[in-house]
Amino acid sequence: MRLVNYGDLESLVGTEVGVSPWHQITQSQVNKFAEATGDHQWIHVDVERATRELGAPIAHGYLTLSLLPMLAAQIMRVEGVTRGINFGCNKVRFTNMVPVGSRVRLRQKLLKIEERAGGKQMIMENTIEIDGKDRPACVAEAISIIYG
């Protein structure tokens, strides 16, 4: 994990911040996400049919996106932060399916940082990679604001 001081964040603009450890996607995780969101499409929750027709059930795209906070927390910690908020996304693309049982990880690049609302607004390029695949599962430009 990378430790960075709140006052030194600007020095990271334009650089890769880091890469998270691998995280395995389980059917239990997919089923819980389906329950939480009401998205029970068969490609996610009907293991028998999805295995027969697709080779395996696939994770929801939004489940993949929802892993950003957990995976990002394993990449970098900013010291001197009192709180942070998610501000949204400029762009999100789901570029590959994530079969259940796959391992994913997050690669982050700090694109931009500027003063905003009494804090620092950061724009991160987030690429969720799939172990053994050339094309990532998701690329998302996410915006957050942190306060020191």
Q: Where are the domains of the chain?
A: 2-26+68-147
- % helix / strand / coil in the chain, to the nearest 5? 30, 45, 30
pLDDT truncated to tens, each residue of the chain (148 aa)?
A: 999 999 999 999 999 999 999 999 999 999 999 999 999 999 999 999 999 999 999 999 999 999 999 999 999 999 999 999 999 999 999 999 999 999 999 999 999 999 998 999 999 999 999 999 999 999 999 999 999 9
- C-alpha span between 114 and 38 (Å, rounded): 37
Where is 34: in which H helix or E strand?
helix 27-37
- The reply to whether CATH 2.40.30.170 applies to domain 2-26+68-147 is no
